Each structure stands twice: as structure tokens, then as C-alpha cells.
């Protein structure tokens, strides 16, 4: 298994940084860039006496396999497991039998695959519609015999329609303390709905606006060149969701909430920071395993901030000093979850896993305490 990335792998948090991921796709992930390393590996195996050599790639690595079997390098067969960044033309250049294993998140290439099968009858394709992108790789939880979709949770709140915007609302209808939740790019997942309900039972009125209007991203989208960058630039920008925030804010105000805070996960963390810069009267904000945060962001907020990064996020120590230096800096806190991964408290968390559930509960307790403290002292 050659180290194509030369000991410089990406992290989940990097996927939320459009510049890092774009640089990876353009300068590090392509077949042309990795061809020499691939050929050196083939020679090593050939020198060891191997006469039949296959190639297997996961996610972006599947694209390299397609590049390899698209040339006359002597590869007998290729295997593509939950592949990323493939285009129909890739299947036309295949020169050997392939096995394609897709998850539910990948594009359906059944038509293109038939062309390969006509040329190479031994080719096989199987689709795992009960599995997510990455289940057979680094994103899989192999502590269980299998990892099925666990997004099953019975909510206690209700869906409401606020003009053209839909939202999930839960918690005490008589509470004067409200929280707006900004989900991650995966949208209305059972984990975020459950988190809303838990905060609701803690005495808050919680609203989860559908900021993306039902058009969520998938894990597979993160592996497609330009998709996340386009999302962040357009419908995932602060300009695009600001109106939804304002609608949620006004809803809470009209329903008796005089102290209102915001919580954002991953991409939503960036939106919370933007809200804290611009929306007047917020009691505070919290960012949980946030993405795309800069040191400058910390110094521009206008209300207390709780930051809960995971092991996959950058070290925000220096940047957070800017928040601590603000007039309300004594109310700003950061707690790092170095034993958890990006997304553990959101859609990527497996809350049937005892450790992950415990740490998610730890994070929720910190959120409840923070908003109890700032909503008690904040004056709108």
C-alpha cells in the first residue's frame, strides 16, 4: 500500500476548507501527479515475481485506479470502492475487468458500467444502499459487525411553516430563552433533531430552520471536485441563509423569547460566527466541530462564544485569544474534544456507540450550561 500522499493526509475538517480541498484535488489527487509512484509500486511487485497484479482504491483512490487501468501498465483487474470524482468518460478508458462497490451516496453509474461489462465480461458491480460513503474505509465504524443506517429517532417537537421556510420547533413554549440551531451540510439528521429535543427539555425554546430548503449535501458530494466550493460560495453562504436566520429569530421573539442564542455544527459553525458579527441582540453563540473558521473571525464577534472543536479541527488557541480579549471575553470558552472526530455531535456521529454517545452528551451539557449562563446575564 504505497503512501501516495507522502504522510500528508487530509482530515475530515479539511473537507470544510474550500482552499485546502481544491488544492488537494488539483495538485495532489490526480492520476498524472501519482503516476510515477504507481509505476514504482508495480515494478516492486513485478521484481518480487508477481505476474498478476490488481489495483484497489477507496474514494478518491478509485480515480487513481481508473487512471492506472486506463493505460497499458499490465494491471489485470481493478476494484473501485465507494469511488469519488468519477465521470462517465472514465469508464470508457477502462482496459481491464473491474469490480465497482458503491454506497447509497455515490452516483448511479449502471449505464456506464454496462459498457465495461460488454468489453470485459468478468466485471462486477454491486450497490450497498444501506451503507454510506466511506463505510469500507476510514469513515466506517468496524466496532460493530455491520454498520447500518441508525438514523432512527422519534422526535418530540413539531414541524412548522414560517412563510416559505420550514422549521422544526421543540422545547418549552413558555420559555423566554430561545436557541436557533444550524445543522451541518447533511440537514435534518436524527442526531441533530435529538439534540434539539434534549436542549428543549433543558428549558429552552429551540428552532431548527431548514436553512438549505431540503437540498442537502451527501458524503459523496464532498469527493466531487468543486461541489463544496460552489455550495460555500452560493447557497451555503451567509448571504444565502441570513434571511432564514432572521425569520427564526423573529419567530422566537414573537413567541416570548427575549434571550436568543445560536448553535452551529461544522459548516453551520461558520454561519454562527457570521451571525455573531452581524445580528444584533444575540445572547451568545456556540460552534461545534466547526469548519472554515479563521483566527480573524474570533476577534470580530459581538457576543460570547463557546467553541467545541474535535481532534480534526485546527488549533484555535491563538485565534481564540482575540475572543478572550473582547469586552465579554470572560464569557467566551473553548473545550477541545481531542478524543472525538469531526462530526461526532452531528450527522456523522454514531450515538449507538457508547463512547460517542457519552461525548455527545458531554458536549450537550456544555452547550446547556453556556446558554444558561449567557441568557441569564445578557441584556437585549
pLDDT tens, per residue, the chain with 380 residues: 888 888 778 776 676 676 777 787 778 888 888 889 888 988 888 888 888 898 999 888 888 888 888 887 888 898 989 888 888 888 888 888 889 888 888 888 888 888 888 888 888 888 877 677 887 887 776 544 333 334 467 889 999 999 999 999 999 899 999 999 999 999 999 899 999 999 999 999 999 999 999 999 988 888 788 888 899 999 999 999 999 999 999 999 999 999 999 999 999 999 999 999 999 899 999 999 999 999 999 999 999 999 999 999 999 999 999 999 999 999 999 999 999 999 999 999 988 888 999 999 999 999 999 999 998 754 33
> Is the torsion defined by CA of 265, 239, 258, 170 positive or negative?
negative
Q: CATH for 13-128?
A: 3.40.50.1820
211, 181 Cβ separation under 8 angstroms: no
CATH 3.40.50.1820 domain position(s) in the chain: 13-128, 158-377
- The neighbouring-strand residues paired with 142 are none
181, 207 Cβ separation under 8 angstroms: yes
Its pTM stands at 0.63
Q: Pairing between strand 165-171 and 158-162?
A: antiparallel
For 379, residues 6+ apart whose C-beta sits below 8 A from its C-beta are: none
What kind of fold does domain 158-377 have according to CATH? Rossmann fold (3.40.50)
265, 288 Cβ separation under 8 angstroms: yes
Distance CA 130, CA 105 (A): 10
105 to each of 53, 56, 218, 319, how far by Cα in Å? 29, 19, 6, 36
Amino acid at each position: 500500500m504505497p503512501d501516495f500522499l507522502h504522510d500528508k493526509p487530509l482530515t475530515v475538517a479539511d473537507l470544510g476548507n474550500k482552499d485546502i480541498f481544491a488544492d488537494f484535488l488539483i495538485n495532489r489527487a490526480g492520476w498524472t501527479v501519482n503516476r510515477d509512484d504507481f509505476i514504482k509500486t508495480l515494478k516492486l511487485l513485478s521484481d518480487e515475481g508477481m505476474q498478476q497484479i490488481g489495483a484497489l482504491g477507496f474514494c478518491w483512490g478509485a480515480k487513481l485506479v481508473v487512471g492506472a487501468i486506463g493505460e497499458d501498465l499490465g494491471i489485470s483487474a481493478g476494484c473501485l470502492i465507494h469511488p469519488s470524482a468519477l465521470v462517465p468518460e472514465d469508464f470508457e478508458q477502462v482496459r481491464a475487468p473491474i469490480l465497482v462497490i458503491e454506497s447509497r451516496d455515490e452516483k448511479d453509474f449502471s449505464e456506464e458500467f454496462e459498457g465495461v461489462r460488454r468489453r470485459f465480461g468478468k466485471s462486477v458491480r454491486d450497490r450497498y444502499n444501506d451503507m454510506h460513503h466511506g463505510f469500507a474505509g476510514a469513515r466506517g465504524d468496524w466496532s460493530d459487525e455491520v454498520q447500518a443506517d441508525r438514523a432512527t429517532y422519534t422526535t418530540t417537537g413539531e414541524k412548522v411553516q414560517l412563510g416559505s421556510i420550514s422549521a422544526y420547533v421543540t422545547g418549552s413554549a413558555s420559555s423566554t430563552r430561545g436557541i436557533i440551531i444550524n445543522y451541518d451540510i447533511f440537514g435534518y439528521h436524527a442526531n441533530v433533531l435529538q439534540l434539539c429535543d434534549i436542549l428543549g427539555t433543558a428549558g429552552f425554546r429551540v428552532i431548527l430552520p431548514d436553512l438549505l430548503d431540503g437540498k442537502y449535501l451527501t458524503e459523496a458530494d464532498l469527493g466531487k471536485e468543486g461541489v463544496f466550493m460552489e455550495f460555500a460560495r452560493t447557497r451555503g453562504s451567509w448571504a444565502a441563509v441570513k434571511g432564514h436566520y432572521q425569520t427564526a429569530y423573529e419567530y422566537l421573539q414573537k413567541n416570548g423569547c427575549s434571550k436568543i442564542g445560536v448553535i452551529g455544527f461544522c459548516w453551520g459553525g461558520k454561519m454562527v460566527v457570521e451571525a455573531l458579527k452581524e445580528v444584533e441582540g444575540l445572547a451568545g453563540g456556540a460552534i461545534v466541530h466547526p469548519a472554515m473558521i479563521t483566527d480573524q473571525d474570533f476577534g470580530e464577534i459581538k457576543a460570547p462564544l463557546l467553541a467545541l472543536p474535535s481532534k480534526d479541527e485546527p488549533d484555535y488557541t491563538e485565534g481564540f485569544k482575540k475572543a478572550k480579549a473582547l469586552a465579554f471575553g470572560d464569557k467566551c470558552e473553548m473545550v477541545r474534544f481531542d478524543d472525538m472526530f469531526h462530526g461526532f455531535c452531528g450527522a456523522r456521529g454514531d450515538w449507538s456507540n457508547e463512547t460517542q454517545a457519552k461525548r455527545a452528551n458531554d458536549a450537550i451539557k456544555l452547550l446547556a450550561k453556556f446558554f444558561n449562563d449567557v441568557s441569564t446575564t445578557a441584556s437585549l
